[in-house]
Structure 1
């Protein structure tokens, strides 16, 4: 809870509004939020669930704009994969989000499907990583 304001500020900087504040608050309360810190404070955060068809799902990865392209998102993904409750970890991003596609590829996630009609004209691409150490 001590990091809620800083996480909310980062999210607002990226999104342009504070519409996800309650979502972030709930994730923190339920211990489903992981932060990556550096010498300047929080560089990024990840929110996950464990209810995606009985598998782990990374629902949000946000990196502070000033800390992008420094491995923060990959570090968050790698950390979560190591602690995930299931051996299969899923996530997704819009087809248009080329930066996140590169992050998933770097973290060795594999494209495994897509969902149409969430965002008009921009399908959601689904990724999976199988943690063989847990399988």
Structure 2
């Protein structure tokens, strides 16, 4: 059964393992541990961790989903949508922002499927691959 919940410290190793699988190193371990302690990290599980979501309120005092990563072998099974939909229910602010690279067509489809609207572009973060900003108004 699919379960989305706040990550606990015992989830840290599985989160780091998924991140390592995707980006090739584990340099974000400290960031993940901090997010877990601050309850700014969600995990989606079905027996084991399939993916995670990190967020903060540093984006002009609105929620910004800074990272959604699903284990490569578990993609296209709805885990990213499960994380977003759960997060929308618990978001402490009415506006939710996130972003993805222009080259990340899969994540753009996830945002579109979940009702997120394009909200701008940031150039020069990754050379030649602009960051696309997405927005959704939380339903009341």
Indicate the residue corresponding to 1:82 in structure 2.
Answer: 89
Match of 1:101 among 96, 108, 118: 108
Indicate the residue corresponding to 1:34 in structure 2.
Answer: 42
Runs of 4+ displaced beyond 4 Å: none
The TM-score, its normalising length taken from structure 2, stands at 0.92
The question of 1:5 aligning with 2:13 is answered: yes
The gaps in structure 1 that reach 5 residues or longer are none
Q: Distance in 2 between matches of 1:71 and 1:32?
A: 21
The gaps in structure 2 that reach 5 residues or longer are 1-8
Query: How many residues are paired up?
Result: 132
SS of the aligned residue for 1:18 comes to coil
> 1:65-103 CA distances to partner (integer Å, 9 max, x unpaired)?
121110000110111111101110000000010010001
Match of 1:61 among 44, 68, 71: 68
Q: Distance in 1 between matches of 2:86 and 2:57?
A: 16
